[in-house]
């Protein structure tokens, strides 16, 4: 049995790290060094993303299989509906279970190539993540997570429908949600309040993606549509010639965010690593005592 839903419901803060399956041998070595580094801080889980298509999807399975069999880490595997028939999705869920992976983060996925292109479901597939939540649940997995959007999903026409569909997805069988990256804590708090106001109290884990380079900003906006704080952009721009200063500014901003999220009662912190965990481990170190003092943790954190 997975401990994940229990940890998230217990009031103890979960700490998790997100990785992607690399496409090269060098990338694979870096992933494994990174996994060993985060293993030392005993996170609640690590999650592995699922690519938009092709061979990266098979690599997700290989990576989670190795994590399950060769580390002390709990792997959460992402799964997207896009481009798959229901029969294929059933097969993949079976492969995850055979690999010893029982915890799935369920997503609809975006159109491959251009994430902003028109969404077209596979002719024999699913249209919304809520349908995949129901399908995955039929297999008796230990936990199911879903995505949440502090600035609402970019395709949602308004907040009312966004929250209604999010809550329906949770009620289809999700145990918890992880957010899209965001940079204003108030956006997270507003989302949490909106969801709670309609009677849904699912743990919503905020995702933290530190910005340590001004060149990342446009990429972040493209990927997540997250509003980037002007003051942070200006500070990073001013420090552009000094990687050490940019690093310090990014760590400081994300650590302050993490601290406030804990104070505000977030159920945990999910760190997006891009397979380079140095920055997020520094943030984790900065707030480790806050995590400890907010609740006595059951792990070695």
Residues contributing to the site for ligand FAD (CB under 6 A)? 49-50, 52, 78, 80, 107-110, 128-130, 147, 153, 155-156, 161-162, 165, 169, 178-180, 207
212: Cα separation from own chain's centroid: 19
In the residue annotation, 70 being an active-site residue is answered as no
- Residue 140: name the closest of 97, 171, 177 by CA: 97
Contact indicator for 185, 263 with CB cutoff of 8 Å: no
111 or 229, CB closer to ligand FAD?
A: 111
Residue 261 C-beta: closest distance to ligand FAD, Å: 15
138 or 238, CB closer to ligand FAD?
A: 138
Check 18, 62, 118, 131 and give the catalytic one: 18
Residue 110 C-beta: closest distance to ligand FAD, Å: 5
Q: Which residues contact 172 (CB under 8 A, 6 or more apart)?
A: 130, 131, 133, 134, 137
Largest Cα–Cα separation, the chain = 53
134 or 165, CB closer to ligand FAD?
A: 165
Residue 188 C-beta: closest distance to ligand FAD, Å: 12
Residue 282 C-beta: closest distance to ligand FAD, Å: 22
Burial class of residue 91, CB neighbours in 10 A (0-12, 13-18, 19+)? exposed
Contact indicator for 206, 162 with CB cutoff of 8 Å: no
- 3-state SS class at 180: strand
Contact indicator for 3, 76 with CB cutoff of 8 Å: no
179 or 212, CB closer to ligand FAD?
A: 179
Catalytic machinery residues: 18
């Amino acid at each position: 049995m997975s401990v994940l839903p229990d940890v998230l419901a217990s009031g103890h803060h979960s700490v998790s790290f997100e990785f992607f399956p690399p496409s090269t041998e060098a990338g694979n070595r870096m992933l494994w060094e990174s996994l060993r580094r985060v293993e030392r801080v005993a996170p609640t889980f690590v999650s592995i993303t699922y690519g938009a298509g092709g061979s990266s999807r098979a690599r997700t399975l290989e990576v989670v299989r190795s994590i399950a069999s060769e580390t002390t880490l709990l792997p959460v595997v992402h799964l997207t509906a896009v481009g798959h028939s229901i029969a294929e999705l059933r097969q993949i869920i079976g492969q995850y279970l055979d690999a010893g992976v029982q915890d799935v983060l369920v997503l609809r996925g975006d159109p491959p190539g251009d994430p902003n292109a028109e969404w077209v479901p596979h002719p024999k597939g699913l249209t919304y993540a809520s349908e995949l939540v129901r399908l995955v649940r039929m297999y008796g997995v230990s936990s199911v997570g879903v995505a949440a959007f502090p600035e609402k999903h970019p395709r949602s026409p308004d907040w009312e429908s966004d929250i209604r569909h999010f809550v329906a997805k949770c009620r289809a069988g999700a145990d918890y949600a992880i957010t899209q990256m965001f940079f204003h804590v108030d956006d997270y708090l507003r989302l949490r309040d909106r969801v709670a106001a309609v009677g849904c109290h699912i743990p919503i884990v905020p995702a933290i993606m530190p910005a340590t380079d001004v060149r990342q900003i446009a990429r972040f906006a493209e990927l997540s549509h997250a509003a980037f704080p002007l003051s942070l952009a200006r500070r990073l721009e001013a420090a552009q010639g000094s990687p050490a200063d940019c690093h310090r500014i990014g760590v400081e901003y994300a650590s302050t965010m993490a601290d406030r999220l804990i104070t505000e009662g977030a159920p945990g912190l999910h760190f997006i690593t891009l397979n380079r965990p140095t920055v997020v481990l520094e943030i984790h170190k900065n707030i480790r005592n806050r995590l400890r003092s907010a609740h006595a943790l059951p792990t070695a954190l």
